[in-house]
Amino acid sequence: MYSTNYHRPSSVEEAVALFGKGSDPKYLAGGHTLLPVMKQRLAGPSDVIDIAKIPGLIGVEASADALTIKAATTYYDIMHNADVKRTIPAIAHLTSVLGDPAVRYRGTIGGSVATNDPAADYPAAVLALNATVKTNKREIPADQFFKGLFMTALEDNEIITAISFPIPAKAGYAKMRNPASRFALTGVFVAKHKSGEIRVAATGASQNGVMRVGVIEEALKANWSASALDNVKVSDEGLMADIHGTSDYRANLIRVMAQRAVDAAG
């Protein structure tokens, strides 16, 4: 690791101010993406601004219509939170199959969404549930947030403060884990919204990061059941191919994971 200056602000305002002073600053949350990269010397920020302990960024709130998870809430706290389990159990499940215990004790929802790793789990939930990404500056709808591999609508110094998920009628997540990293080899989040809208998002599959899967949405709109997907053909165009899976394998996984997610959603 290159040497760096570590800061621990106690508010979002202070964090943003510190960010403004650094020559090449970075926010740090759970550190499970940033620190490995720094250890390998692939990143060498001048300043590391730790936002994980800012009280205003931690916690979960639920209303009749929405579940709001503040950005620095850890996976561990999310998966054990009673409101999460009650309102959107699919999120609790998604979190329980994310990484390993060490990752879950430290990693945060804000860090995950800000990173937008093409194989990360949360982006699928954010997109399928049509969540709103709240920052210190604005509110960004899911459809406008993810901009391709590791790219988001966030500006340099912008901090995600919370993610607000509309509570759906039904939702489910199924994930085929990458055998090495345990990220999603392909994961699919299905949601039936109270409005009747069906949104399905796949992660780990596309070369452009998390994506909606139109053919599956249509089939489920006609018939919300796993068997409705039996003969759906998902195209492998634009899907990733690597040592862990070919693109046709991933296309198959999108369908199979969607079926299992529907089963889980009930």
Ligand X SMILES: Cc1cc2nc3c(=O)[nH]c(=O)nc-3n(C[C@H](O)[C@H](O)[C@H](O)COP(=O)(O)OP(=O)(O)OC[C@H]3O[C@@H](n4cnc5c(N)ncnc54)[C@H](O)[C@@H]3O)c2cc1C
Q: By the criterion CB under 6 A, which residues form the site for ligand X? A: 26-34, 36, 51, 71, 98-99, 103, 107-108, 110-112, 114-115, 117, 120-122, 154, 159-160, 181-183
Please state whether 116 falls in left (phi above 0), alpha (psi between -120 and 50) or beta: left
Q: Return the structure tokens found at 248.
A: 């046709």
Burial class (CB in 10 A: 0-12, 13-18, 19+), 254: buried
- Which among ligand X, another protein, none contacts residue 159 (Cβ within 5 to 8 A by kind)? ligand X
| Residue 223 interacting with another protein (CB under 8 A) | no
Q: Return the structure tokens found at 62.
A: 């639920």
Whichever of 117 and 158 has its CB closer to another protein, that residue is: 117
Q: Return the structure tokens found at 76.
A: 């561990």
| Residue 3 interacting with another protein (CB under 8 A) | yes
CA 260 and chain centroid, separation: 19
| Residue 253 interacting with another protein (CB under 8 A) | yes
| Count, residues near another protein per rule CB under 8 A | 20
Distance CA 155, CA 213 (A): 27
Contacting another protein (CB under 8 A), which of 23, 179, 196, 233?
Answer: 179
Task: Tell how strand 211-212 and strand 5-7 pair up.
Answer: unpaired
String marking each residue 185-214 x if it binds another protein according to CB under 8 A: x-----------------------------
Whichever of 69 and 216 has its CB closer to ligand X, that residue is: 69
Whichever of 67 and 173 has its CB closer to ligand X, that residue is: 173
Cβ-contact 188, 173 below 8 angstroms: yes
CB of 62 to another protein, least distance (A): 32
Distance CA 209, CA 116 (A): 8
- Which among another protein, ligand X, none contacts residue 25 (Cβ within 5 to 8 A by kind)? none
- Which among ligand X, another protein, none contacts residue 114 (Cβ within 5 to 8 A by kind)? ligand X
Give backbone dihedrals phi and psi of 241, rounded to 5 degrees, phi first: -135, 125
